[in-house]
Amino acid sequence: MLEDNEGFSYPVVDKNLCVDCGLCEKVCHELKPYERRTPLRVLAVINHDENIRSESSSGGIFSIIAEQIIKDGGVVFGAKFDNQWQVTLDYTDSIIGLSEFRGSKYVQARTANTYAMAEKFLKNGRKVMFSGTPCQIAGLHHYLNKQYDNLLTVDFVCHGVPSPKVWGRYLDEVARDTNKVISSIEFRNKDNGWKLFNFKLFYTENDNTYFISSCHQQNHYMRAFLSDLILRPSCYDCKAKHGSSMSDITIADYWGISKNHPEMDDDKGTGLVFVNSDKGNAYLDLSKCKYKDTKYSDASNHNPGLGNVTKPHMNRKKFFAVIDDADRVCDLIDKMLKPTIIQRFADFLVDTKDLCYKQWLKVNKTIKLLILQFNNVDNMDC
């Protein structure tokens, strides 16, 4: 695996060792994607354990499933931070170890040798829960190339995976350059509620603990992520959407719960669960949570990540072309996400829609001049 200039790793074939067996192509989900599926059941779910729920991104559903696997003597694979605060897949066979897997981590996780480790556990007869992005779950199924009754796969509705390189540069600026020692990171802190979540970074300085907190709409890294500026290229043409990962269970935030089922919304996090198989249904212990059956159409209306493919930000190529020469990645993000004149003009129209007619006439001439100035720009549709 070699890292490119954007910070993403790709497999490289050693031509001197390759025997042209074609196995790498046979197990590639990009070349051989699975068929799309619709879930057997769709649920809005809230974990009864408020402590676990507060540590989770939404409703704390992952822990309910994972705890059952561990109690049955199994192992759970999930995403955790390493010593450098990059994200990697790992496993645990203890309830305490699950805490490192809770919470969203908006960085591409290294798969490393977890597929081989999972296969070893499965062949030894232990139950395995493997959680990851849809493409990682699809990759696992291709790798195993057979069905295991003792395997449970869980993925989540994925927006796309950001560059580990950009994440590392960001951490350098907010923590390491000022000699702060990071002790914890929360991408989805709920101090201000589930919907207006904060990015929160804890650090130690002179034996004291402090934190840096910012709303996700103001945090530089989160803005770059949510604006689709720093995602892996394959995320813009994802082959694992629409249930095609072959996961048994898919979990997500139930955005839109306040409209569809307001009685399930207290702004502390409500999970959305898609039961994709009978095996997934058997492992979902609903006695440990408050739940309500919901419609797929209602949930998908407010969760576009279920099927829509993310489109790259218009400045994505430019961003990665100059990132190595940029002194500060936060300043570069500000520059790349700065609204264009056309965008500012569109915002202006929205902001002034309630002006009275006479006030509108005063600015009408200026608006016409702007339109004439940019009449050669494509997509001039305000």
The answer, yes or no, to whether residue 378 has pLDDT greater than 60, is no
Q: Which residues of 263-276 are buried (b: 16+ CB within 10 A; e: fewer)?
A: ebbeebbbbbbbbb
The answer, yes or no, to whether residue 39 has pLDDT greater than 50, is yes
pLDDT classification of 161: cutoffs 50, 70, 90: very high
3-state secondary structure of 279: helix
Give the whole-angstrom CA distance, residue 138 versus residue 119: 14
Q: Which among 329, 1, 316 has a CA at the least distance from the CA of 165?
A: 329
What is the pLDDT, as a whole number, of residue 276?
A: 97
Element (H, E) at 47: strand 41-47
Is the C-alpha dihedral spanning 349, 355, 356, 360 positive or negative?
negative
What is the pLDDT, as a whole number, of residue 111?
A: 94
Q: How many CB atoms lie within 10 A of CB 353?
A: 8
Per-residue pLDDT of 111-159, as tens digits, reads 999 999 999 999 999 999 999 999 999 999 999 999 999 999 999 999 9
Cβ-contact 104, 251 below 8 angstroms: no
Per-residue pLDDT of 311-320, as tens digits, reads 999 999 999 9
- Numbers of helices and strands, H then E, in the chain: 14, 13
The answer, yes or no, to whether residue 382 has pLDDT greater than 50, is no
What is the pLDDT, as a whole number, of residue 210?
A: 82
Cβ-contact 75, 122 below 8 angstroms: no
Which residues in 318-382 belong to E strands, given as ranges?
none
pLDDT classification of 380: cutoffs 50, 70, 90: very low
| pTM of the full structure | 0.88
**DSSP state, 178?**
G
Q: Which among 129, 117, 124 has a CA at the least distance from the CA of 74?
A: 129
What is the pLDDT, as a whole number, of residue 203?
A: 87
Give the whole-angstrom CA distance, residue 61 versus residue 53: 8
Give the whole-angstrom CA distance, residue 382 versus residue 379: 9
The type of residue at 278 is: D
- HEC readout, 318-368: HHHHHHHHCCCHHHHHHHHCCCCHHHHHHHHHHHCCCCCHHHHHHHHHHHH
pLDDT classification of 190: cutoffs 50, 70, 90: very high
